[in-house]
Amino acid sequence: MKAWMHGYSGRMGQEITKAIRATNHWTLVGGSSARGLMFEEQEGLSWDQFSNAVTNADLVIDFSSVAGNLELQKVIRSDSHYSKALLIGSTGLDQKQIDEWQKLAIDKKVAILLAPNTSLGILLLHQVSKLLGEVLAPQGFDIEILESHHRAKLDAPSGTAKFLAQGIAGVLDKTIKVNRDGKRESHEIGVTALRGGTVFGEHEIQYLGDEEEIKISHRALSRGLFAKGAVLLGEWIVKQKPGFYRLEDITIEEMIKLIQERKV
Ligand SMILES: NC(=O)c1ccc[n+]([C@@H]2O[C@H](COP(=O)([O-])OP(=O)(O)OC[C@H]3O[C@@H](n4cnc5c(N)ncnc54)[C@H](OP(=O)(O)O)[C@@H]3O)[C@@H](O)[C@H]2O)c1
């Protein structure tokens, strides 16, 4: 399998490059960043060469930024021959940008997975948190999500906190309230973001009842975790038919299989 890394010079891009090189069934054909292209280890190529270079890849992995993701959208939109799979790990995209990817998936016949968190542990947390919500919310438990990330993170709340909140809100009749500044309403699922230091990422879901509290949390201990998850999810998306997918489209059975059979 051949991959192209968009955002290859970034913190995540470097980790994913390492994870790809550590497998024996993937190769990195090239990458792109704000400073240009790297193709088969040669740096400094111009963006004009993107279309030719990227057609050698089965999968494009994007861990860049909102602006970097827009650049990628532009080149894929303008390239009539682009027809590969794409894993989007960049976070902070607005609805307009996501809608455009949905259109591109159809127009260009690309299998696109929007993955604001590529940790398999978070995917499991997502499933478990919905189950707990379904049982506890009708019993009067309030649900709140707290997330912490390093001081350099550009978006808040994290894409993962939104993903978790949307999962729970989707199975309950609740609305998501971000960084509340007034009284709590009973129909809300609150999401609060903390920023500072070098925290890779922590997410805690709290189920707060009158007599007991349940808290489930996930703590990322290294960026390598997201990188290895990105490779596994990349393997999942290349096997899908063209279309736009979200993490929630991966069934619990597929997820367990990915975890049990992981080779990275
Ligand atoms: N899905 C997940 O599990 C997960 C986990 C961690 C992070 N993330 C997300 O992944 C993204 C990257 O994070 P990071 O920590 O690696 O960031 P980073 O270290 O700042 O790296 C950003 C990368 O994107 C490139 N880039 C930025 N703007 C660009 C543009 N306009 N055109 C082309 N390339 C551009 C940068 O290129 P230059 O070096 O040339 O500037 C660099 O290669 C962020 O959105 C972050 O929130 C997702």
User: According to the model, what pLDDT value does residue 81 have?
Assistant: 67
Identify the structural domains of the chain with CATH numbers, from first to last: 2-118+224-260 (3.40.50.720), 120-219 (3.30.360.10)
User: According to the model, what pLDDT value does residue 258 have?
Assistant: 82
Ligand 1 centroid to residue 223 C-alpha, Å = 13
- DSSP secondary structure string, 161-224? HHHHHHHHHHHTT-EEEES--SPPPTTEEEEEEEE-TT---EEEEEEE-SS-EEEEEEE---TH
Distance CA 40, CA 42 (A): 6
pLDDT one-digit tens code per residue, 167-185: 999 999 899 999 999 999 9
Which residue's alpha carbon is at the smallest distance from atom 21 of ligand 1?
Answer: 10
Whether 160 is in the pocket of ligand 1, judged by its Cβ within 6 Å, is no
Which of 5, 16, 33 has the most ligand 1 atoms within 8 A of CB, as the residue to mutate?
33
User: According to the model, what pLDDT value does residue 122 have?
Assistant: 93
Active site residue 263: no
Whether 68 is in the pocket of ligand 1, judged by its Cβ within 6 Å, is yes
User: According to the model, what pLDDT value does residue 263 have?
Assistant: 63
User: According to the model, what pLDDT value does residue 203 have?
Assistant: 97
pLDDT-flagged residues of the chain (< 50): none
Residues paired with residue 218 on neighbouring β-strands, in sequence order: 203
Strands 243-246 and 213-219: unpaired
Active site residue 215: no
Whether 195 is in the pocket of ligand 1, judged by its Cβ within 6 Å, is no
pLDDT one-digit tens code per residue, 13-69: 999 999 999 998 899 989 999 988 887 777 777 777 787 778 889 999 999 999 999
Ligand 1 centroid to residue 254 C-alpha, Å = 28
Cβ–Cβ < 8 Å for 240, 112: no
